[in-house]
């Protein structure tokens, strides 16, 4: 066996796919039992293992709560310094044409078994060779077209004097594993680490009789430095291609998420407009009821005043009561009233007493309705404030423009002033009733 390639590229880091929580079309579930899991650890548990002690030490020194670090994963996601929460490399020997897993008769091919052996040894020694790359998930897949290895790791760098003493830093992790500092964009820490890992894979392959070649590069015509430079360029190209694919997938997902946000905002706007309309309608109805109550009270007051005036006018020419004298002609303090006059006085008394109860109940009802109107007005004000805050107020005003042409409503303060006037007008009438009631009590005595 000879002439195979090594693929060593960045992966997407999809744990659900790697650990077969779901199956894509290119996966054969009948061969999933051939897969091999080396490490399967939740990301949060891995971060606690890597940075838990450093976080505890850092937080213990902080006197202010707002300076403490509780969620290092979220901090890395939001940092904007280029660091990722974790990295994934997909390692493969050969391709689907020269190292396909399934033979013509459905058997596992010899090439695939050999490639799997190489990847297995590479996986078992990876953590030892790369102590600063903490592996939390590593799986060998044998249920797709070609054997390949998913390695997911967290870069761990030590020795920081300020902040966290141990941090997520890929560049520092490489350097602490003996990788030289970057010379230029092509010869950086990542590309030099890839070359080192490729060379190790190449040796594992040669031990099993497999010669490793680089696509597009003819090794016999190149010196070793030229060959390494060519490998670096090819690797950079592969990495950039894989990164662009990942970025493209992320942008597509972000676009879909933004579209959902826009739809949600539109629905929220429609709900607010509907709520504002309902609140305005309730305020209008409450206003109409209040106006009707005021009108009814005014009408009743006029009716009772007229009734009292009529009673006085009808009986003004003749005395209602005659004083009672004793045998010596002296006043006794008692009076006598004709039966018809007495019945009329009782009728007026009952009417006025009923009127007082009606007015009292209406006054209580108006207080309750005033409270409801205030609540509805406050809600309407909050709706307007929200619409202005989200630049929707002008659109809302345009939407309800015809309703703004309705006659102006009486404000709460104006209604309160009107109520005070009504109560002031009723005060003399109430005092007169009390005086009449006192006289009737004397007559009864």
Residues 326 and 201 in one domain: no
Give residue 169's pLDDT.
93
Q: Indicate whether 239 belongs to any domain.
A: no
Q: What is the CATH number of the domain that holds 18?
A: 3.30.930
Residues 194 and 314 in one domain: no
Domain end residue (candidates: 172, 191, 213): 213
- Boundaries of domain holding 11: 4-213
Residues 164 and 284 in one domain: no
- Give one DSSP letter per residue of 381-396, joined into a string: HHHHHHHHHTT-HHHH
Residues 186 and 280 in one domain: no
Residues 193 and 49 in one domain: yes
Give residue 408's pLDDT.
43
State pTM to two decimals: 0.51
Contacts of 406 (CB under 8 A, 6+ apart): 284
Q: What is the number of other CB atoms lying within 10 angstroms of the CB of residue 132?
A: 20
Please say whether the beta carbons of 20 and 32 come within 8 A. yes
Please say whether the beta carbons of 36 and 120 come within 8 A. yes
Q: Indicate whether 150 belongs to any domain.
A: yes
Q: Indicate the SS3 state at residue 349.
A: helix
- pLDDT in 10s for each residue of the chain, 445 residues: 457 899 888 898 999 999 998 888 889 999 999 999 999 999 999 999 999 999 999 999 888 888 888 889 999 988 877 789 999 999 999 988 899 999 998 899 999 999 999 999 999 999 999 999 999 999 999 999 999 999 999 999 999 998 899 999 999 999 999 999 888 877 889 989 999 999 999 999 999 999 888 654 444 444 455 555 666 666 666 666 666 766 666 666 667 666 666 666 667 677 777 777 777 777 677 666 666 655 555 565 566 556 555 655 555 445 555 665 655 555 556 666 677 777 777 777 776 666 666 667 777 777 777 777 878 888 878 887 777 777 776 777 666 665 444 444 445 555 555 655 666 666 666 666 676 666 656 555 4
Q: Indicate whether 219 belongs to any domain.
A: no
- Cβ burial, residue 85 (10 Å; 0-12/13-18/19+): middle
d(Cα 357, Cα 217) in Å, to the nearest integer? Answer: 106
Counting the structural domains of the chain, the total is 2
d(Cα 428, Cα 417) in Å, to the nearest integer? Answer: 19
**Which H or E element spans position 105?**
none
Domain end residue (candidates: 178, 193, 213): 213
Residues 119 and 19 in one domain: yes
Give residue 108's pLDDT.
92
Residues 423 and 298 in one domain: yes
Q: Indicate the SS3 state at residue 244.
A: helix
Residues 33 and 116 in one domain: yes
User: Any idea what DSSP says for residue 75?
Assistant: H
Q: Indicate whether 241 belongs to any domain.
A: no
Domain end residue (candidates: 192, 213, 234): 213
Q: Indicate whether 51 belongs to any domain.
A: yes
What are the tokens at 291?
Answer: 């106006």
Q: Indicate whether 58 belongs to any domain.
A: yes
Q: Indicate whether 161 belongs to any domain.
A: yes
Residues 347 and 205 in one domain: no
Q: Indicate whether 184 belongs to any domain.
A: yes
Please say whether the beta carbons of 147 and 119 come within 8 A. yes
Residues 159 and 304 in one domain: no
Give residue 389's pLDDT.
78
User: Any idea what DSSP says for residue 101?
Assistant: S
Please say whether the beta carbons of 119 and 140 come within 8 A. yes
What are the tokens at 83?
Answer: 């660091």
Give residue 316's pLDDT.
46
Residues 107 and 10 in one domain: yes
Residues 194 and 316 in one domain: no
């Amino acid at each position: 066996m000879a002439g195979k390639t090594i693929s060593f590229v960045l992966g997407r880091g999809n744990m659900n796919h790697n650990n077969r929580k779901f199956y894509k079309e290119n996966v054969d579930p009948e061969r999933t039992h051939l897969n091999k899991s080396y490490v399967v650890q939740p990301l949060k548990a891995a971060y606690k293992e890597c940075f838990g002690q450093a976080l505890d030490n850092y937080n213990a020194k902080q006197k202010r709560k707002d300076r403490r670090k509780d969620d290092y994963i979220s901090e890395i996601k939001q940092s904007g310094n280029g660091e990722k929460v974790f990295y994934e490399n997909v390692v493969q020997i050969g391709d689907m044409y020269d190292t396909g897993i399934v033979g013509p008769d459905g058997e596992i091919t010899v090439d695939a078994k050999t490639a799997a052996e190489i990847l297995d040894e590479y996986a078992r020694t990876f953590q030892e060779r790369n102590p600063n790359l903490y592996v939390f998930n590593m799986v060998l897949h044998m249920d797709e077209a070609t054997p390949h290895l998913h390695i997911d790791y967290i870069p761990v760098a030590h020795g920081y004097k300020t902040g966290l003493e141990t941090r997520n830093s890929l560049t520092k992790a490489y350097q602490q594993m003996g990788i030289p500092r970057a010379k230029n964009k092509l010869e950086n820490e990542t590309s030099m680490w890839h070359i080192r890992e490729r060379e190790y894979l190449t040796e594992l392959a040669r031990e099993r009789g497999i010669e490793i070649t680089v696509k597009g590069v003819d090794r016999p015509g190149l010196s070793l430095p030229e060959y390494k430079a060519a490998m670096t360029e090819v690797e950079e190209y592969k990495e950039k291609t894989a990164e662009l694919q990942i970025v493209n997938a992320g942008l597509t997902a972000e676009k879909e998420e933004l579209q959902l946000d826009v739809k949600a905002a539109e629905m929220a706007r429609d709900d607010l407009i509907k709520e504002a309309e309902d609140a305005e309608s309730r305020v209008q109805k409450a206003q109409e009821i209040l106006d009707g109550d005021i009108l009814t009270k005014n009408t009743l007051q006029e009716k009772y005043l007229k009734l009292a005036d009529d009673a006085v006018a009808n009986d003004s020419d003749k005395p209602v009561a005659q004083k009672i004298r004793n045998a010596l002609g002296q006043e006794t303090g008692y009076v006598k009233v004709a039966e018809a006059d007495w019945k009329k006085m009782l009728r007026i008394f009952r009417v006025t007493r009923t009127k007082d109860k009606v007015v009292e109940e209406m006054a209580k009802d108006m207080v309750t309705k005033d409270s409801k109107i205030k609540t509805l007005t406050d809600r309407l004000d909050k709706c307007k404030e929200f619409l202005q805050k989200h630049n929707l107020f002008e659109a809302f005003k345009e939407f309800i423009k015809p309703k703004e042409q309705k006659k102006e409503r009486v404000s709460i303060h104006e209604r309160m002033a009107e109520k005070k006037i009504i109560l002031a007008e009723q005060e003399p009438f109430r005092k007169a009733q009390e005086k009449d009631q006192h006289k009737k009590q004397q007559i009864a005595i």
